[in-house]
Amino acid sequence: MLGRYFPLCLGLAAVLMTHSAFASISLSSTRIIFDGAHKEANVTVRNGGRTILAQSWLDAGDTAGSAPPFAVTPPLARIEPNQQQLLRILYEGRGMPTNKESVVWLNVQEIPQASAAEVNTLQLAVRQRIKVFFRPEELLGDAAKAPEQLVWKLENHSGGWILKVLNQSNYHVSLAELKVGEGKNAELVADSTMITPGEVRSFTLNRAPQAGAGHLSFSAINDYGAQQKYVAPLNNTDSRAVRSKDMSSE
């Protein structure tokens, strides 16, 4: 039975390896900071492969697929090999909260241009998606200090342990490698997550924190995509994190 299908599988694998379309575009930033004091924010799309069409749009990041009050121009652009295209993100001027930072998503989809000479080619439309952080004009607080305004607390519920966090800032805090404890005994609570302004989040721990290792650690991702390390004491009272050291840029 296996011998019957082996040539077919081998042939299909060869087609996928030799004719697949790989992503050739890259964006100039891993995130966009839209300052509400300005009318627009920009990002550059670079094409390192063959000629493509780049389709761009924004979404609110919800399951309903609602459209945020932003527009991106041009929504469709032809980009030649080793060339680039500037995308402009425009805000309608109303529709977003004015007392806190908001997030929408920019989608850039690469559509390869098929050649008439190519036969049996598998074309893949590759999409890149990054966050656009909209900061209203004169928003109170400092985004760089937001990780230090996370309030952490350890609670015991019916014999189980819960780690709670409250974001007291007006800014989103993107976390990576949230851990409780130290070394090989540390528990990875969340690989990556984002705490929104004013949000209270609970994380269920798989085991009780190790005695003598009463602290947590995480990396916060700043406006430039770099990771900065923070540590905080961990107990049944409110505690805040302090910056430990800079991590490499992601």
Query: pLDDT of 172-198, one tens digit each?
Result: 999 999 999 888 889 999 999 999 999
Structural tokens at position 123 = 């074309």
Q: What is the CA radius of gyration of the chain?
A: 23
Give the chain's domains with CATH numbers. 21-135 (2.60.40.10), 143-249 (2.60.40.10)
Q: Within the chain, which residues score under 50 in pLDDT? A: 2, 5-21, 246-250
pLDDT at 16: 39
pLDDT at 3: 54
Cα separation of 13 and 20, whole Å? 10
Q: What is the pTM of this model?
A: 0.83
Using DSSP's 3-state secondary structure scheme, residue 145 falls into helix
- H or E stretch including 55? strand 52-59
pLDDT at 184: 83
Cα separation of 208 and 32, whole Å? 39
**What secondary structure does DSSP assign to 160-218, as a single string?**
EEEEEEEE-SSS-EEEEEEEESSGGG-EEEEEEEEEPTT-EEEEE-SSPPPTT--EEEE
